[in-house]
Structure 1
């Protein structure tokens, strides 16, 4: 099984992470029908700025670079949240580098999320996954995550 170690993001790593996260979120939001393509990048930038106004120094947010030895395999962004259900670690972004997918790093990253959640003394882990991401949905189900809400859309011509 793949192993990962989480390291706090450096400022240089954060710059690349921010650019990739915004672009990925915009593209997924267009693909899912949430946003129009011409608005997506601006909306993704605005949401990102709202969530991380102080970048990696934003209180309650934890940004990591995942490594296997010296090899950077992916990134992780979790935030501590409290609502009527209790305290949670919310996974805003979890990504394995494209050429390394399918090698067990996604599962290793999710196990690292749970380790961090235990260290934060939260009651549960939450995340959002796009319906079209069948690989991730399958992994999360295998790891014991339950679907708690499903939004369905039908595009009309």
Structure 2
């Protein structure tokens, strides 16, 4: 199994992450049919700006670069959120670098994330995953995550 550590993301690393993440976020929403293509890019820019107005210095948000030794293997972003009578980690983004996928890094990143969440005194990890992301859904299930709610949609197309 891969072994990774999570290092706090620098401002320079965040700038690179942000450039790529906003585009990927918009594309994921369009692919999942949760947003129309028209305006998706700007909507993604606006959502990131609202969530991370101070970038890596945004209070309550934790952004990390994952490394295996000296090699960058991915990234993790979670935020502390109220839930019930306590606080939980909400996983906003987790990525294994494209050329390293399929080598156990997804599992290792999730385990490292869980360690950070426990260290922050939080009791649970919550996340949302697109229904068409079968690889991620399979990983989360394997690690003991369960579906707590499911949103379903049907595109009816134009009336004929």
> Is the shorter-chain TM-score for this pair beyond 0.5, marking a shared fold?
yes
| Interval of TM-score (by shorter of Structure 1 and Structure 2) | over 0.9
- The higher radius of gyration belongs to 2
Segments of 4+ moved more than 3 angstroms: none
Q: 2:135 matched to which residue of 1?
A: 135
Q: Which structure 2 residues correspond to residues 89-104 of structure 1 after superposition, within 5 A?
A: 89-104=89-104
Question: SS of the residue aligned with 2:38?
Answer: helix
* Residues in 1 aligned to 2:62 and 2:148: alpha-carbon distance in whole angstroms: 24
Q: 2:86 matched to which residue of 1?
A: 86
Q: TM-score, normalised to structure 1's length? A: 0.97
1:3 aligns with 2:3: yes
TM-superposed CA distance for 1:143, in Å, is: 0.5
Report Cα offsets for 1:20-66 as digits up to 9, x if no partner.
Answer: 11111100111111111121010000000000010000000010000
* Residues in 1 aligned to 2:20 and 2:92: alpha-carbon distance in whole angstroms: 13
Q: TM-score, normalised to structure 2's length? A: 0.95
Report Cα offsets for 1:5-29 as digits up to 9, x if no partner.
Answer: 1111111111111111111110011
Question: SS of the residue aligned with 1:37?
Answer: coil
Q: How many corresponding residue pairs? A: 157
Q: 1:18 matched to which residue of 2?
A: 18
Structure 1 unmatched ranges of 5 or more: none
* Residues in 2 aligned to 1:92 and 1:120: alpha-carbon distance in whole angstroms: 16
CA RMSD of aligned residues (A): 0.9
